[in-house]
Amino acid sequence: MAATGGVRTACVTGGNGYIASALVKMLLQRGYAVKTTVRNPDDREKNAHLMELQALGPLEILRADLDDEGSFEDAVAGCDYAFLVAAPVNLTSEDPERDQIEPSVRGTLNVMRSCARAGTVRRVVLTSAASSVCIRPLEGDGHVLDEESWSDLEWVAAEKPPSWGYVVSKVLSEKAALRFAQEHGMSLAIACPVLTVGASPVPKVYTSVPASLSLISGDEAALAMLKGIEKSFGGVPVVDLDDLCRAEVFLAEAEAASGRYICSSFDTTVVEIAQFLADKYPQYSVNIGSGELLEKPRVRLSSAKLVKQGFEFRCKTLDEVYQGVVEYGKALGILPY
């Protein structure tokens, strides 16, 4: 049964994740009833922050696993919108085909099938990544990429850049979702976020926040990830977490939204971030390490499609994006108090 009495219902998969938790919170604050999925609802440590969000509005926490066919049926039943945020993120796997690519495609289609069967879902919003857009050979400077651009899987297979399995998984999952939506007459919008920075309700974060703070935290692996982004993207495109969640809700609600949307506020570089952090937080020592770095981005990712359809990014500078992130980093234990 679809939502009644004007209350819209949204499903958010992977509710205990970094982006999904923030999205769940935003949807509740906007008056949605939310059904979210986690792999293990009995894991109190992983889900405590979700239980706290239940104070904001109607939030059901259900069990579902991307690897378990049909397990999302209850979660999407009766929903107006489905936000597919859960995804394997195994960036360092030795067998990316097994741990990243195959489960990502299969899991995406698993949830899409449940959405089709539910019969109430007006729009599916899939969270992919800009890695599906820009990992391709681009010589020189001044490139501007939009949603027409796909990462070049032949080149990726030959060169195996860092986290290449993640790139392949995002391209193939998007293409499978687009095909499925077309075949089943489903309305699908795909968000392709860049490095997402901001404070989320989750008490543990593994990827973007450690990377964004790595220049002052001394976390070498996270700094290598940040530099890896610059190398393979030709710059460091950034989006604020709150703006990304606003964009995802916009993509659900906007009648005309369809297809892929790059979600990027601006493009910067490791050197610019280091300079910004050194000026803004003189109490930390900034360690940029060694290696070749860009003076300015060679490649820019355009969110013109999203903006033309009426979306406005609120955070357009490093200063705005990093608001609250250093405090969050302290709470996460990434930075000392």
Span near ligand NAP by CB under 6 A; candidates 61-69, 114-122, 223-231, 267-275: 61-69
* Residue of 29, 98, 179, 206 that binds ligand NAP (CB under 6 A): 206
* Binding footprint of ligand NAP, residue count (CB under 6 A): 25
Taken as a whole, the chain contains a residue count of 337
Give Cβ neighbours of residue 32 (< 8 Å, ≥ 6 apart): 7, 8, 9, 10, 57
CA dihedral sign, ordered 114, 206, 23, 308: negative
Q: How far is the CB of 83 from ligand NAP (least distance, A)?
A: 10
Residue 207 binds ligand NAP (CB under 6 A): yes
Shorter beta-carbon distance to ligand NAP: residue 14 or 337: 14
Cα separation of 234 and 198, whole Å? Answer: 22
> Tokens 């949605």 label which residue?
32
Task: Supply the minimum distance, in Å, between the C-beta of residue 1 and ligand NAP.
Answer: 25
Which 3-state string (H, E, C) describes 141-197? CCEEECCCCCCCHHHHHHHCCCCHHHHHHHHHHHHHHHHHHHHHCCCEEEEEECEEE
- Residues of this chain, 64-93, that bind ligand NAP according to CB under 6 A: 65-67, 85-89
Pick from 114, 149, 163, 208: which binds ligand NAP (CB under 6 A)?
208
Q: Which residue in 10, 12, 17, 300 binds ligand NAP (CB under 6 A)?
A: 17
- Give least dist CB 56 to ligand NAP, A: 19
Nearer residue to ligand NAP within complex by CB, 19 or 27: 19
> Of 2, 3, 30, 39, which one interacts with ligand NAP (CB under 6 A)?
39
DSSP 6: T
Tokens 């109190």 correspond to 44
Binding mask 182-201 for ligand NAP (x = CB under 6 A): -----------x-xx-----
Task: Name which of 210, 189, 196 is nearest 311 in CA terms.
Answer: 189
Measured from each CB, the residue nearest to ligand NAP is 17
**Strand blocks (E) in 173-295:** 188-193, 195-197, 236-240, 259-263, 266-268
Segment lying near ligand NAP (by CB under 6 A), choices 49-57, 59-67, 140-148, 247-255 = 59-67
Q: How far is the CB of 287 from ligand NAP (least distance, A)?
A: 22
276 in Cβ contact with 252 (< 8 Å): no
In angstroms, the Cα distances linking 127 to 4, 20, 123, 248 are 27, 10, 13, 8
- By beta-carbon proximity to ligand NAP, the closer residue of 7 and 48 is 48
In this structure, what is the dihedral angle of CA atoms 128, 188, 34, 29, given to the nearest 10 degrees? Answer: 80
For ligand NAP, the closer CB: 19 or 168: 19
Beta carbon of residue 54, minimum distance to ligand NAP (angstroms, whole number): 17
Which residues, at least 6 apart from 2, have a Cβ–Cβ distance to it below 8 Å?
9, 78, 80, 120
Tell me the closest approach of the beta carbon of residue 17 to ligand NAP, in angstroms: 3
Among 11, 14, 118, 136, binds ligand NAP (CB under 6 A): 14
Site for ligand NAP in 115-174 (CB under 6 A): 127, 129
Residue 65 exposed, middle or buried by CB count within 10 Å (0-12, 13-18, 19+): middle
Q: Report in angstroms how near the CB of residue 216 gets to ligand NAP at its nearest.
A: 18
Query: Residues in the site for ligand NAP, rule: CB under 6 A?
Result: 14, 16-20, 39, 46, 65-67, 85-89, 107, 127, 129, 193, 195-196, 206-208
